[in-house]
Structure 1
Amino acid sequence: MQLADVRTAAAADATTISRLLADVIRSSYAGILGEIPARRLVSTQCALPRIRAEIEIPGGAPGWLGWLVATDTDGTIVGAAAGGVPMPGEGELYALGVAEGSRRRGVGTALLAAATDRMRGFGAREMRVTLPAEEDPALPFYESQGFGPLTPTRWSRAL
């Protein structure tokens, strides 16, 4: 698959982002997180009203850089990411998810690169991410992108 586009999410993308992230959490953390923690993660991170509100923040909010989506050549959303610079110099990746059938095809790398560019534009010199589990299935991806552990679930890289 060739990545067609990484763009800023639009209000019409909120439902797709919510579903995509919920599917990613359910498939990625089955057997790693218990059923209740996984449900709690889906309900807090994938709530449609929350994602819709985050997309529609007029002019952004201090430290919030918004949602990005990756589309395939047909225009179908195959990945999403969100981030910000909540503290001077420190970028934070709040979410990054890629649809199961689109993994290992450069989608996550393209989303991370776009989020990184945004964070650098707002003065970030470091990027951090907090993972839901110590044995997180995304660890090889983050390691390949230059992240290293601060704690078992908190990772960082210089920008």
Structure 2
Amino acid sequence: MHTVEVRPAVAADAAAISQLLAAVIRESYTGRLEANAVEHMVGTNCSLSRIGAEIGIPGGAPSWLGWLVVTNAGGRVVGAAAGGVPGAGEGEVYALCAAPLFRRDGIGSALLAAVTERMRAHAAERQSVTLPCDADPALPFYNAHGFKGSERRLTRDI
């Protein structure tokens, strides 16, 4: 494992975030969800115009704290995360993914830590994530980071 540096996303990262998120959704949920549900998730969550607009929100807002990325030595985006504080004291992880070839390199943990710090700065005391399916492939990752709850809605104190 090497040192992982997380930084705020910039406009030039939008396409890479879109492509990474779409690839991870397809890899994670094909065979777990119906094909049309997987493509609906991709269409809804990975739109280049949406991600570009979200990156462009100056300074964010408590309900939207922005995109964070991790790049490899060549500058390629290999991890991305987004979160916010949609209610008093309640943080929400909206997206968190690492490229399959870079998993177990600490990228997900570094992104989660950075999202968590942003949430704490906006007075979040708890953090939640909603997973798309039961027995989600991300469930062991979140459990290892202290999230508990149903198989689809997990929370932890931060």
**What is the distance in 1 between the residues matched to 2:47 and 2:3?**
27
Q: Which amino acid aligns with 1:114?
A: A
Contact 1:3–1:70, Cα closer than 8 Å, also in 2: no
Q: Which amino acid aligns with 1:53?
A: A
Deviation at 1:84, TM superposition (A): 0.5
Alignment partner, residue 71 of structure 2: 71
Contact 1:89–1:123, Cα closer than 8 Å, also in 2: yes
Contact 1:3–1:72, Cα closer than 8 Å, also in 2: no
Instruction: Report Cα offsets for 1:71-106 as digits up to 9, x if no partner.
Output: 123322110000001111000000001001000110
Q: Which amino acid aligns with 1:157?
A: R
Contact 2:4–2:106, Cα closer than 8 Å, also in 1: no
Q: Which amino acid aligns with 1:105?
A: D
Deviation at 1:147, TM superposition (A): 0.1
Alignment partner, residue 43 of structure 1: 43
SS of structure 2 residue aligned to 1:73: coil
Alignment partner, residue 157 of structure 1: 156
Deviation at 1:135, TM superposition (A): 1.3
Q: TM-score, normalised by structure 2?
A: 0.96
Deviation at 1:4, TM superposition (A): 4.2
Q: TM-score, normalised by structure 1?
A: 0.95
Contact 1:71–1:79, Cα closer than 8 Å, also in 2: yes
Deviation at 1:12, TM superposition (A): 0.5
RMSD of Structure 2 on Structure 1 (CA): 1.1
Contact 1:5–1:72, Cα closer than 8 Å, also in 2: no
Alignment partner, residue 117 of structure 1: 117
Deviation at 1:120, TM superposition (A): 0.5
Q: Name the % identity.
A: 56
Contact 1:98–1:108, Cα closer than 8 Å, also in 2: yes
Deviation at 1:152, TM superposition (A): 3.0
Alignment partner, residue 105 of structure 1: 105
The ranges of structure 1 where at least 4 consecutive aligned residues each deviate by more than 4 angstroms after the TM superposition are: none
Structure 2: gaps of 5 or more residues: none
SS of structure 2 residue aligned to 1:65: coil
